[in-house]
Amino acid sequence: MAVPQFDLGKTTIGELVDIDAEQFGDSKALHYPKLGIQYNFREFRSLMNDVAKGFMALGIQKGEHIAIWANNVPEWLYTQFGTPKMGAILVTVNTNYRAFELEYLMKQSDSTTLIMIGGVKEKTEYIDVVNQVCPELKASEPGNLNCAKLPKLKNVIFIGEEKHPGMLNWSEVMAMGSRITDEQLAARQASCKPDDVINMQYTSGTTGFPKGVMLTHTNLIGNALSMAECMRLTSEDRLCIPVPFFHCFGCVLGTLTCMVSAACMCPVVAFNPVDVLQTIEACGCTAVHGVPTMFIAELEEMAKNQYNTGTLRTGIMAGAPCPIEVMKKVVNDMGASEICITYGQTEASPGITMTRTDDPLELRVSTVGRAIANVEVKIVDYETGKDAPAGVQGELCTRGYHVMKGYYNNEEATLKAIDKDGWLHTGDLAVMDKNGYVKITGRLKDMIIRGGENIYPREIEEFLYTHPKIKDVQVIGVPSEKYGEEVVAYVQVKQGEELTSEDLKKFCQGQISRHKIPAYWAFVNEYPTTASGKIQKYKLRNDAIQRLAREAAADIKTA
Interval 81-91: pLDDT, tens: 999 999 999 99
Tens digits of residue pLDDT in 247-298: 999 999 999 999 999 999 999 999 999 999 999 999 999 999 998 889 989 9
DSSP tag of 386: P
Q: What is the CATH number of the domain that holds 153?
A: 3.40.50.980
Residue 274: give the domain boundaries: 212-443
437 lies in the same domain as 457: no
The answer to whether position 163 is within a domain reads yes
156 with 168: CB under 8 angstroms?
yes
321 lies in the same domain as 284: yes
Give the residue among 313, 269, 268 at the shortest CA–CA distance from 277: 268
Angle subtended at Cα 508 by Cα 502 and Cα 511, rounded to the nearest 5 degrees? 155
Domain boundary among 164, 192, 220: 192
The answer to whether position 519 is within a domain reads yes
CA distances 319 to 333, 335, 341, 350, 426, Å, are 21, 21, 9, 10, 15
The answer to whether position 2 is within a domain reads no
In sequence order, the 6+-apart residues with CB closer than 8 A to the CB of 240 are 266, 267, 268, 276, 279, 280, 283, 285, 287, 288, 289, 315
For 471-513, the DSSP string reads EEEEEEEEEETTTEEEEEEEEEEPTT----HHHHHHHHTTTS-
The answer to whether position 524 is within a domain reads yes
In the chain, the number of structural domains is 3
The β-bridge relationship of strands 484-493 and 470-480 is antiparallel
Per-residue pLDDT at 87: 98
277 with 307: CB under 8 angstroms?
yes
- Least reliable range by pLDDT among 67-71, 419-423, 508-512: 508-512
312 lies in the same domain as 255: yes
476 with 541: CB under 8 angstroms?
yes
106 lies in the same domain as 253: no
457 lies in the same domain as 437: no
149 lies in the same domain as 291: no
H helical segments located in 255-291: 255-261, 273-283
In sequence order, the 6+-apart residues with CB closer than 8 A to the CB of 281 are 307, 308, 309
Q: What is the CATH number of the domain that holds 252?
A: 3.40.50.12780
Per-residue pLDDT at 536: 80
Give the residue among 15, 89, 84, 9 at the shortest CA–CA distance from 401: 9
169 lies in the same domain as 277: no
Tens digits of residue pLDDT in 101-142: 999 999 999 999 999 999 998 888 999 999 999 999 999 999
287 lies in the same domain as 325: yes
The answer to whether position 199 is within a domain reads no
The answer to whether position 492 is within a domain reads yes
The answer to whether position 50 is within a domain reads yes
CA–CA distance, 248 with 402 (Å, rounded to integer) = 13
68 lies in the same domain as 188: yes
Domain boundary among 192, 227, 260: 192
Tens digits of residue pLDDT in 13-54: 999 999 999 999 999 999 999 999 999 999 999 999 999 999
CA–CA distance, 344 with 210 (Å, rounded to integer) = 18
DSSP tag of 536: -
378 lies in the same domain as 300: yes
Strands, DSSP E only, in 74-175? 89-92, 113-116, 155-158, 168-169
58 with 34: CB under 8 angstroms?
no
Torsion, Cα of 382, 384, 385, 391 (10° steps): -60
204 pLDDT band, cuts 50/70/90, is low
472 lies in the same domain as 509: yes
Q: What is the CATH number of the domain that holds 469?
A: 3.30.300.30
Residues recorded for the chain: 559
CA–CA distance, 34 with 46 (Å, rounded to integer) = 22
Q: Residue 77 region, left (φ>0) first, then alpha (ψ -120 to 50), else beta?
A: alpha
The answer to whether position 425 is within a domain reads yes
Domain boundary among 427, 443, 459: 443
- pTM score, whole prediction: 0.85
378 lies in the same domain as 345: yes
